[in-house]
Structure 1
Amino acid sequence: MVDDGSVRTAVDAAWSVYRARHRDVDAADARRCLLERHLQRRREAREHGAEELTGFGIGYLELLPHDEW
């Protein structure tokens, strides 16, 4: 089973990549919380490593509307 450390690593990595691509996004943006919940649910549904969760996280963030935040 993947531990919570893997989720935290994936959240941090995906958030860093997302903010590098979208420089106007604040570090405290609500999308980080959405990302964390999304990856936590993915981890609970199936076993994934941090690298795979990071990829899922980046894809998820890119699907969120950019102009509503």
Structure 2
Amino acid sequence: MDDAVLKIATETAWAVYRARHTDVDAFDSRRCLLERHLLRRKEECASEAQELASFGIAYLCRLPGDEC
């Protein structure tokens, strides 16, 4: 998977998450957690940005609010 797919997936997941959680700042620490999570997952996933983004959205939704 190339870096462009990872970047698209990260941007998509982050945008969807922030649209659902309007109280989350654009520079929230969850963004960094998301990037690290997707970087680890990219070897396991197909090269589809949408699939990787869906893994990222699911990951963000599982994070407890007080962890960030």
**TM-score, length basis structure 2:** 0.90
The aligned counterpart of 1:36 is 35
**Which residue does 2:48 correspond to in 1?**
49
Distance in structure 1 (CA, Å) of the matches to 2:48 and 2:39:
12
Q: Percent identity?
A: 59
Matched residue, 1:65 = 64
Structure 1: gaps of 5 or more residues: none
Spell out structure 1 runs of 4+ moving beyond 4 A.
none
Q: Which amino acid aligns with 2:35?
A: E
Q: Deviations over 1:15-60 (max 9, x none)?
A: 0000000000000000000000100100134443101000000000
The AA in structure 1 aligned to 2:54 is: G
Taking structure 1 as the reference length, what is the TM-score of the superposition? Answer: 0.89
Instruction: Tell me how many residue pairs correspond in the alignment.
Output: 68
User: Which runs of 5 or more structure 2 residues have no equivalent in the other structure?
Assistant: none
Q: Please give the root-mean-square deviation of Cα atoms over the aligned residues, in Å.
A: 1.3
SS across alignment from 2:65: coil
